[in-house]
């Protein structure tokens, strides 16, 4: 009888270790869904919704342009077809469905990206660290931005992750699907997924055929909806956007920080040099395999691209949280995590987010010294400084959010340049 009770107690502990992190993810997923439902009507979502209704009516979705900079449907014809079912329901219900599915995609993205780029970490669905990392990702600014604006980047990021997985297969069907899916993603936001398509479609012939098929399919859908040449209406809207939208306040790229070209050029030169200094020695010693090389190329191209929005940076936050939990580097890595948490200018909300993130990091790591324990506190610095500075200087909000976001992206890019640390690390004990 005593042995039976001991066995049951031992079996209960691992079960609790799994259920507790899952519950944390579910609780914060519901909390974020409720919060953005109450406080955000999805500034970008009405554009998608109108395009979906026009596509259902076989009309030109790019005709729903009230403002070519802020209120234009800028996505491709395949995207309009994929989102068209949203037009069958009310706008509020459609928005909540997109937000719910976006939250559900976070664990899937965490799983796929960890398996592809961090195989030695061996994350799986029954691992408590997997759910702790997923919750950290959920708290990061790219996810919160997608939920607030009603964007769909997480859904297409999931397609891109599936495409990356299929690209590693020897199956003809999966290789074709790999190119087809990344083609769908490029149709949604070519500026975000073009680098993926170049790395995937030109590596295997069948993936190239899949990508080409997506282009032909998009051209056919475009002509059907507009009675014009393939992609002509879409290109027309993109030209109008490029004329005035490159430096709008919601952009998060280096070129939106300053109108001084010389200062921008110097900043880009210094930042790029830092990446080269870290990455080049590793390449010389053949330390970087295809995984970290792939990741570094994606990060570098994205970071220096002149068109990124805060909703487009999901892959950065997923990789950052996996990287730091898999192999925490130093106090700077925790500053990077803290920078990824910067979004709300409300001090109370920021404090809650920081406390939860700190708690998740604390229970995911084993610390052996007081100094190591203290290093975890660096995660609080960015998310506390930001709302305090905005409180005393409201005009600083836009620029500060960009600076902290870009700092997070750059630090993760630097860490990916030293990815050898992670790629050869042993899987930490669960």
pLDDT band at 419 (very low <50, low <70, confident <90, very high): low
Name the burial class of residue 212, with classes exposed (0-12), middle (13-18) and buried (19+) by CB atoms within 10 angstroms of its CB. Answer: middle
For residue 78, the model assigns a pLDDT of: 95
Residue 71: inside a domain: yes
Residue 280: inside a domain: yes
- For the chain, give the percent of residues with pLDDT over 70: 83
| Greater pLDDT, 169 or 180 | 180
Instruction: List, in sequence order, every residue forming a beta bridge with 251; answer none if it has no partner.
Output: 309
Q: Which of 247, 211, 215 is nearest to 230 (CA)?
A: 215
Other Cβ atoms closer than 10 A to 345: 18
Using only C-alpha atoms, the chain has a radius of gyration, in whole angstroms, of 22
Residue 429: inside a domain: no
4 pLDDT higher than 90: no
Q: Which of 196, 25, 199 is nearest to 110 (CA)?
A: 25
CA distance 379 to 334: 5
| Greater pLDDT, 121 or 26 | 26
Specify whether the CB–CB gap between 187 and 75 falls below 8 A. yes
For residue range 234-265, what is the model confidence (pLDDT) as tens digits? 888 888 777 555 555 567 778 877 777 788 88
Among 171-180, 258-267, 277-286, 388-397, the least confident range: 277-286
The number of folded domains in the chain is 1
Specify whether the CB–CB gap between 354 and 380 falls below 8 A. yes
For residue 106, the model assigns a pLDDT of: 96
Number of helices (H), then strands (E), belonging to the chain: the values are 20, 0
Rounded to an integer, the average pLDDT of 381-407 is 85
Residue 11: inside a domain: yes
For residue range 318-327, what is the model confidence (pLDDT) as tens digits? 988 888 777 6
71 pLDDT higher than 80: no
For residue 7, the model assigns a pLDDT of: 40
Contacts of residue 163, Cβ cutoff 8 Å, sequence gap at least 6:
177, 178, 179, 181, 182, 185, 196, 200
Residue 430: inside a domain: no
Average model confidence (pLDDT) across the chain? 81
pLDDT band at 55 (very low <50, low <70, confident <90, very high): very high
278 pLDDT higher than 50: yes
Rounded to an integer, the average pLDDT of 30-48 is 87
Q: Show the domain range for 271.
A: 2-423
229 pLDDT higher than 50: yes
Residue 221: inside a domain: yes
Q: Which among 140-144, 375-379, 421-425 has the top mean pLDDT?
A: 140-144
For residue 174, the model assigns a pLDDT of: 92
Specify whether the CB–CB gap between 295 and 419 falls below 8 A. yes
Reported as half-sphere exposure (CB side, CA atoms, 13 A), residue 225 has a value of 31
Q: Which among 217-221, 225-229, 363-367 has the top mean pLDDT?
A: 217-221
Residue 111: inside a domain: yes
pLDDT band at 371 (very low <50, low <70, confident <90, very high): low
44 pLDDT higher than 80: yes
Both tokens assigned to 95: 């928005």
Predicted TM-score of the model (pTM): 0.86
Phi/psi for 185 (5° steps) reads -65, -40
Residue 428: inside a domain: no
For residue range 93-146, what is the model confidence (pLDDT) as tens digits? 999 999 999 999 999 999 999 888 887 777 788 888 899 999 999 999 999 999
CA distance 313 to 409: 8
| Greater pLDDT, 420 or 18 | 18
For residue 427, the model assigns a pLDDT of: 38
Other Cβ atoms closer than 10 A to 286: 7
For residue 430, the model assigns a pLDDT of: 40
């Amino acid at each position: 009888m005593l042995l039976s009770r001991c066995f049951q107690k031992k079996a209960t502990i691992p079960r609790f270790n799994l259920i507790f992190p899952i519950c944390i993810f579910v609780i914060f997923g519901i909390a974020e869904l409720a919060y953005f439902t109450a406080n955000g009507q999805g500034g970008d979502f009405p554009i998608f919704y109108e395009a979906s209704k026009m596509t259902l009516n076989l009309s030109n979705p790019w005709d729903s342009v009230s403002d070519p900079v802020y209120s234009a449907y800028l996505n491709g014809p395949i995207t309009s077809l994929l989102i068209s079912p949203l037009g069958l329901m009310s706008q509020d219900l459609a928005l909540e469905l997109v937000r719910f599915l976006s939250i559900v995609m976070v664990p899937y993205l965490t799983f796929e990206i960890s398996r592809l780029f961090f195989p030695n970490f061996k994350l799986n669905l029954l691992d408590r660290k997997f759910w702790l990392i997923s919750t950290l990702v959920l708290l990061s600014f790219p996810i919160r931005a997608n939920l607030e604006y009603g964007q769909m980047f997480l859904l297409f990021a999931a397609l891109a992750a599936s495409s990356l997985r299929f690209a590693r297969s020897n199956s003809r069907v999966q290789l074709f699907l790999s190119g087809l899916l990344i083609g769908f993603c490029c149709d949604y936001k070519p500026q975000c997924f073009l680098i993926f398509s170049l790395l995937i479609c030109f590596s295997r012939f069948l993936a190239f055929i899949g990508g080409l098929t997506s282009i032909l399919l998009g051209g056919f859908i475009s002509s059907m909806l507009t009675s014009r040449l393939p992609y002509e209406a879409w290109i027309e809207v993109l030209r109008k956007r490029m004329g005035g939208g490159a430096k709008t306040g919601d952009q998060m790229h280096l070129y939106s920080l300053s109108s001084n070209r010389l200062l921008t050029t110097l900043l880009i030169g210094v930042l790029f040099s830092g990446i080269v200094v870290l990455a080049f020695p590793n390449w010389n010693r053949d330390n970087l395999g295809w995984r970290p090389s792939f990741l570094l190329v994606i990060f570098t191209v994205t970071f220096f691209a002149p068109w990124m929005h805060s909703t487009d940076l999901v892959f950065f936050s997923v990789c950052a949280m996996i990287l730091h939990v898999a192999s925490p580097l130093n106090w700077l890595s925790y500053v990077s995590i803290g920078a990824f948490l910067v979004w709300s200018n409300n001090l109370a909300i920021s404090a809650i987010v920081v406390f939860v993130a700190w708690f998740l990091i604390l229970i995911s790591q084993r610390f052996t010294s007081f100094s190591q324990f203290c290093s975890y506190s660096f995660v609080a610095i960015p998310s506390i400084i930001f709302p305090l500075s905005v409180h005393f200087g409201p005009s600083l909000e836009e620029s500060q959010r960009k600076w902290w976001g870009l700092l997070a992206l750059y630090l993760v890019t630097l860490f990916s340049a030293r990815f050898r640390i992670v790629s050869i690390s042993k899987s930490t004990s669960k």
